[in-house]
Amino acid sequence: MGMYLNPGNSGFAGIRNDTYVDKSGLIGLINETIDTPRRLTCISRPRRFGKSFAAKMLCAYYDKTCDSRTLFHDLMIAEDPKMNAGYERHLNKYDVIYLDMTYIKPFSDGFRNTVSYLSEKIMEELAAAYPALKTGNELSYALLHTVELTGNKFIMIIDEWDAPIRETPENQKRYLEFLRTLFKSSGTTDRIFAAAYMTGILPVKKEGSQSAISDFKEFTAVKPRRFGEYVGFTESEVQKLCEDFHCDFERMKKWYDGYCFRGVGSVYNPNSVMEAIRNEDFDSYWTQTSAAESLMGYISLDFDGLSGTVAELIGGGEVKVHTKGFANDLVTFRNRDDVLTLLIHLGYLAYDETTEKARIPNEEIRMEFVKIVRDVKRDDTIRRVRESEQLIIDTVHENAEAVAAQIEKIHGEESALHYNNEQSLRSVIKRAYFSYGDEFVLFEELPARAGYADVVYLPKKDSMLPALLIELKWNKTAQGAIGQIKERDYPAAIREYEGEILLVGINYDKEAQAGKRKHTCVIEKYQI
């Protein structure tokens, strides 16, 4: 066993020793591509979404120098007839080259010598494994001669393939040329590799209008396609974990759900789910990833409309995003859409490919936005934060006139928000209260005894503020909204909450006479 050539199955064995959610169906999808024109697969997804787990699983399955039967015998790939057609045929049958690009950083002068380092080390290990091999000076020829000597093709697995591009963009040209030599070289690729699997955060880097390694079939956070269920934990998998560990599934869903892919449904952040279970605490575990450090830089970029867009997202809104112009790097930004597309790839935003809209997926990520937006040094952002914080203060102090005035101001500023129903009014409400994340958790259309509460801001366990139960009306009265809250007993929606509750009725009167406010508000303490 070597460091890069045939490293064995110990990585996946360690994963199996802990709580493991079965994702072995991924192997079946890769088996389908072996020795076909689809043999090159690139999957991009955010940090802490199980990329390395998947790479170690594939390494353990294909590596011919170990026997991994006991690691897979009880998993879907071995048990499900739909998946295991090629299970025995490919199990531990290949020479595997496994590269964890983040691991090699300190050995390659911070990625500056990536190409020479990898070429040298892989050829050294090939020569040690096959003494009769003549490696020559080029890695691609050494690999080809190995196949001719052994009669056995390679499976290549590259984890975090884009790390050199993300961290040293000045060296990306040479690195991409290295990958091109391996995977786009006049037919030798098919002679060398039975399959290749790359995983990273970014899609394949583009050079002008052509991809540097265009033969890879890409599956991204924007379009995961048939790999959608392997991006994170599915809803049924999280439900099973919550049953096994006696966790509150509804709270788990609120905190870590929010990503959704066609044909799969809800997808959860695996790292955060497991941390919540192990720590018996629902919290933001995103802060423990290096991705969180970069968020401020992206939302601080000076593009028209970006500040207002961030406020709308934090408030719970959705925004249209054109993702196709993104250059697939961390430095080339031409407009607001490029920034938002990057945030989708980083996992800060969830994207619906049907509606082409993005949103903040869950409470965990919303907390990160709220925390970081206060440090953004832009006048319009600072103003929005202060106004939203003041709105919460005015609401808690039952200053209904000030609340109505601020909501009317937000509506006037956001010309794109044209009311035509209560849903449109709700969008303005969420944008107005967008800085709620320090004190509250937001719920929409929360089921009550007779109907649904429009908007509920429920205090977090360490907050001293009251719950805000907001009912919205269109061309009626704010007092009528309060009456509906009482009549239909909407406070029953938060019956387990024992603190003070404020009822907030807000109405928009399109036909209000000149000189009168179109928005009105009534605030009352709830009397049990």
Task: Supply the pLDDT for residue 394.
Answer: 94
Task: Supply the pLDDT for residue 433.
Answer: 87
User: How far is C-alpha 492 from the chain's CA centre?
Assistant: 33
Distance between CA atoms of residues 502 and 393, nearest Å: 13
Distance between CA atoms of residues 471 and 480, nearest Å: 9
Please indicate whether residue 469 or residue 441 has the higher confidence score (pLDDT): 469
Distance between CA atoms of residues 297 and 42, nearest Å: 27
Average pLDDT over residues 111-118: 92
Per-residue pLDDT reduced to its tens digit, 241-250:
999 999 999 8
Percent of the chain with pLDDT over 90: 49
- CATH 3.40.50-classified regions of the chain: 10-219
Q: 73 Cβ partners below 8 Å, 6+ apart?
A: none
Q: 16 Cβ partners below 8 Å, 6+ apart?
A: 71
455 residue type, one letter: V
pLDDT at 208 over 50: no
| Short-list 58, 23, 281, CA closest to 157 | 58
Q: Where does the pLDDT of residue 159 fall: very low under 50, low under 70, confident under 90, or very high at 90 and above?
A: very high
Average pLDDT over residues 88-101: 95
Task: Supply the pLDDT for residue 206.
Answer: 59
CB atoms < 10 A from the CB of 305, how many? Answer: 12
Distant-in-sequence contacts of 146-154, Cβ < 8 A, 24+ apart = 146/95, 147/191, 147/192, 150/95, 152/64, 152/93, 152/94, 152/95, 153/35, 153/94, 153/95, 153/191, 153/192, 153/193, 153/194, 154/94, 154/95, 154/96, 154/97, 154/192, 154/193, 154/194
Of 200-209, 216-225, 449-458, the one with minimum mean pLDDT is: 200-209
Average pLDDT over residues 425-450: 82
Q: Where does the pLDDT of residue 119 fall: very low under 50, low under 70, confident under 90, or very high at 90 and above?
A: very high
pLDDT at 209 over 50: no
Specify the pairing of strand 206-207 against strand 210-211.
Answer: antiparallel
Distance between CA atoms of residues 228 and 216, nearest Å: 17
Of 14-28, 33-47, 212-226, 476-490, the one with minimum mean pLDDT is: 212-226
Give SS3 for 260: strand
Task: Supply the pLDDT for residue 416.
Answer: 47
C-alpha neighbours within 13 Å on the C-beta side of residue 31? 21
Of 218-227, 242-251, 368-377, 417-426, the one with minimum mean pLDDT is: 417-426
Q: Where does the pLDDT of residue 513 fall: very low under 50, low under 70, confident under 90, or very high at 90 and above?
A: low
pLDDT at 36 over 90: yes
pLDDT at 374 over 80: no
Fold exhibited by the domain 10-219: Rossmann fold (3.40.50)
| Distance set, CA 314 to CA 244, 296, 337, 382, 438 (Å) | 33, 14, 17, 14, 12
Distance between CA atoms of residues 229 and 243, nearest Å: 20
Per-residue pLDDT reduced to its tens digit, 323-367:
988 877 777 888 899 999 999 998 999 999 889 999 999 888 888
| Distance set, CA 405 to CA 387, 400, 522 (Å) | 11, 9, 12
Per-residue pLDDT reduced to its tens digit, 238-289:
999 999 999 999 889 989 998 989 889 999 999 999 999 999 998 888 765 4
| Distance set, CA 278 to CA 18, 274, 281, 324 (Å) | 11, 6, 8, 39
Task: Supply the pLDDT for residue 419.
Answer: 60
Q: What is the DSSP letter of 498?
A: -
Backbone angles phi, psi at 100, to 5 degrees: -100, 100
pLDDT at 415 over 50: no
| Short-list 93, 18, 103, CA closest to 58 | 93
The per-residue b/e assignment along 413-430, b for 16 or more CB within 10 angstroms, e otherwise, is ebeebebeebebbbbbbb
User: How far is C-alpha 284 from the chain's CA centre?
Assistant: 14
User: How far is C-alpha 79 from the chain's CA centre?
Assistant: 30
| DSSP, residue by residue, 371-399 | HHHTT---HHHHHHHHHHHHHHHHHHTT-
Per-residue pLDDT reduced to its tens digit, 50-81:
899 999 999 999 999 999 999 999 999 998 77
CB 505, CB 525: distance < 8 Å: no
Sequence length of the chain is 528
